[in-house]
Chains A and B, each alone.
Chain A
Amino acid sequence: MPTTLEIKDLHVSIESKQILKGVNLKVSQGEIHGIMGPNGSGKSTLANTLMGHPKYRVDSGDILVNGESMVGMTPDVRAKKGLFLAFQYPLEISGVPLAQFLRSAYRAVKGEQKSETKGVGGEMISALAFKKKLEEKLKEVEMDPAFAKRYLNEGFSGGEKKRAEILQMAILEPAIAIMDETDSGLDIDAVRKVSEVISKMTGPKMGVLLITHYQRILQYIKPQFVHIMVDGRIFKSGGPELAQMLEERGYEWIEREAVPTAS
């Protein structure tokens, strides 16, 4: 059965300021959803809340993975349930080599999954097998193998950081990946490259929630569903044509239309 992420009437506040005002959305494994919206509409709040950032408080509503509520669960538990967040601003962790970090993360996420479905391998991946896997994935995301020994994100350029996020995603193989403005801060060539890599990874095994301000990334990663977020709500949902419309007309018409519903 495919994994589903279901967001039900989600209300979220940060430091007692309400940001999300009733978001409804359902993403299944194999589907690609794009969420677009103007700055400050709550896109990143949604991403961080789904992954369980302690700063964001769920006031009401629910986040369900295969029917199980994630509200109150710590981020590591959510990761083990198959969620992944590609960060808009990946953090630098000094002194922790990327390869070592990935192996710990892999063991944490996969170890649990294996113990739940007994008999499938069961054993932890060996250092050698993991090294091989990492080499393959580095190739897939077109990263220099030298990055494996470098400290996590330390001194990486903007594009390298985003690519390292995709590498982490490729290693952890989440059921549902949330990508928070993966295209932001990158030049056109870098957006194209990162998008190509993401495209390679999408398929029946992964559901994607692609959050973006710009339409350009959607030229490379074709969503089946596009949602427009305004003022903490999904204002409009549709197919790829919605993204096209935004590209042509900008956000202004949406904001004008949204006023009556938002008041």
Chain B
Amino acid sequence: MASKQVLDIDYTKYSFHDSDESYQYKFPRGLSREVVEHISRIKKEPDWMLQFRLRSYDHFMKRPLPTWGGDLTTLKFDEMLYYASSTEKKSRSWDDVPPYIKETFDKLGIPEAERKFLGGVGAQYESEVVYHSLRDDLSKKGVIFTDTDTALREYPEIFKQHFGTVVPPEDNKFAALNSAVWSGGSFIYIPEGVSVDVPLQAYFRINTQNMGQFERTLIIADKNSRIHYIEGCTAPIYSTDSLHSAVVEIIAKPGAHVRYTTIQNWSNDVYNLVTKRAYAYANATVEWVDGNLGSKLTMKYPSIYLLGPGAKGEILSVAFAGKKQHQDAGGKIVHLAPNTTSRITSKSISKDGGRTTYRGLLHVAKGATGVKSTVRCDALLMDEYSRTDTYPYNEINEDDATITHEATVGKIGEDQLFYLMSRGLSEQEALSMIVMGFMEPFTKELPMEYAIELNRLIQMEMAGSVG
């Protein structure tokens, strides 16, 4: 057990923000071909990347908004800021990070967390990564953990070979947008047979009003390697909307094991529209552990393509929707090879009129024999004003597939509350305990420090729910 709670911080502090007057680059609001070209120019990118961005921009402009999912009509693309950079260079030493940014991440507990239990840390502030570090022994083994812009410059071959192969720009409107204006994110390469025993972590922070954050993460786990990556995200609260639209690509080569853990606690004015997809080759395992709190609207369906025999995919997600929030989340598993297995576990909590949606796809392709899959969705409704929906889609093209699907919707019963309260717990403590128990299958998968943080966030969300 951790001697001290690493992320023991006052969560009201998430809502501070710094002055953006002194930023080195801050673009006019709105998106145009010029903006895309300008971003590429600032980053001194090779021509192929500029062409990739422009192709993506063209697709974004002609692709209509999705007509399903949450309400996107209030999203004002013209008012967004597509690139902002506060500092010219990235630091490898915490001491070199500009003081005001350092203070931000200090408040969020990042450097302390790194010292205690992480193998490497990246911190992104607006569009650019401001800090990156990796434990020496890991870099000696050939592990690469850097920001995505640096990776494009320093590892051009491996980068170009994999970038955009899992999520092409044409996949969806927001993948196209990200591909046009992407900046920052993490790039990870784990060499064959290397096992990284401690998590690598990145932290993403939006500071400016109407900011769009478009990080791009690419993880390549070579044969029989092992990696656990964690990301955390926050933003201060503004009265106008911000947009977080990331793309995450994972390539798990034969026998590799990749776990990707996300805990997002965006303020409730952020649109969180993220495309996450993984390729799992023969006998590889990919696990998405995805916790969604906060935001105005989240649309996120981590997916796993099981491409080789014996590959395994697991998606474990939790969504918490409070007042005026819509969490439209779920998962996609595509079985494209024989003897592949998958499991989706979705837990959602709706409260104070919040709305959760589970949207899932399970696809078993012709020829993918011996598939086993389990889907389980549990929803908890805290009151009668809140809402939950389940949209599971199954496309099964092989007769011998073993598929189980289970969905439950629960409410907290008066008798359960009475029982816990009769043991001295207040109504709020009793409610929190039931909710945390409900989420336990998720929480137990998190590193201790994150489990503590998540439980604390839930307790905060639950506060004020009584009376």
Contacts and interface: CB of A to CB of B under 8 A. Distances in A.
Contacts of A51: 418, 422
11 contacts: A79-B421, A79-B424, A87-B419, A91-B416, A93-B420, A95-B436, A96-B434, A104-B433, A108-B426, A109-B424, A152-B437
A42 interface: no
Contacts of B437: 93-96, 151-152
Contacts of A79: 421-424
Contact of A74 (B423, B427, B434, B439): B427
Given A55-B414, A95-B437, A96-B437, A104 B421 contact: no
Given A51-B418, A53-B418, A76-B423, 19 more contacts: A51-B422, A52-B421, A54-B418, A75-B418, A75-B422, A76-B421, A76-B424, A76-B425, A79-B424, A91-B416, A93-B433, A96-B434, A96-B437, A96-B440, A101-B423, A104-B425, A104-B429, A105-B424, A108-B426
A172 B441 CA distance: 28
Contacts of A85: 422
Nearest to A74: B421
B317 to A, nearest CB: 16
B438 interface: yes
Nearest to A111: B424
A90 interface: yes
A172 B418 CA distance: 17
B416 A93 contact: yes
Contacts of B430: 76
Nearest to A105: B423
Nearest to B432: A104
B9 to A, nearest CB: 22
Contacts, number: 83
B423 A95 contact: no
Nearest to A91: B419
Q: Give 8 nearest A-B pairs by CB, closest first.
A: A95-B437, A95-B440, A108-B424, A109-B424, A105-B423, A96-B437, A75-B421, A79-B424
- Chain B interface category by residue count: 20 to 34
Contact of B423 (A48, A54, A151, A172): A172
Interface in A49-97: 51-55, 74-76, 78-80, 84-85, 87, 90-91, 93-96
B429 A108 contact: yes
A168 interface: yes
B395 interface: no
Interface in B156-189: none
A15 to B, nearest CB: 13
Given A76-B424, A76-B426, A105-B424, A90 B419 contact: yes
B415 interface: yes
B425 A105 contact: yes
A25 to B, nearest CB: 19
A84 B424 CA distance: 9
Contacts of A52: 418, 421-422
Given A75-B418, A93-B416, A109 B434 contact: no
Interface string A237-258: 0000000000000000000000
A154 B308 CA distance: 39
B406 to A, nearest CB: 14
Contacts of A168: 423
Contacts of B441: 95
Interface string B373-386: 00000000000000
A247 B271 CA distance: 70
Nearest to A94: B437
A94 B433 contact: no
A93 to B, nearest CB: 6
A53 B416 CA distance: 11
A80 B424 CA distance: 6
A94 B310 CA distance: 32
Nearest to B427: A74
B431 to A, nearest CB: 12
Nearest to B378: A94
A96 B436 contact: yes
B424 A96 contact: no
Contacts of A151: 437, 440
A51 B413 CA distance: 17
B427 to A, nearest CB: 7
Interface string A94-137: 11100001001100110010000000000000000000000000
Nearest to B433: A96
Contacts of A152: 437
A81 to B, nearest CB: 10
Contacts of A78: 422
A87 B419 CA distance: 8
A94 B438 contact: yes
A114 to B, nearest CB: 13
A84 B437 CA distance: 23
A17 to B, nearest CB: 18
Contacts of B416: 91, 93
B419 to A, nearest CB: 4
Nearest to A153: B419
A175 to B, nearest CB: 13
B337 to A, nearest CB: 34
Contacts of A48: 418
Contacts of A105: 423-425
Interface centre among A84, A85, A95, A101 (most CB of B within 10 A): A95
Nearest to A109: B424
A78 B422 CA distance: 7
Contacts of A90: 419
Contact of A91 (B415, B427, B438, B440): B415
Contacts of A53: 418
Interface in B428-465: 429-430, 433-434, 436-441
Contacts of A75: 418, 421-422
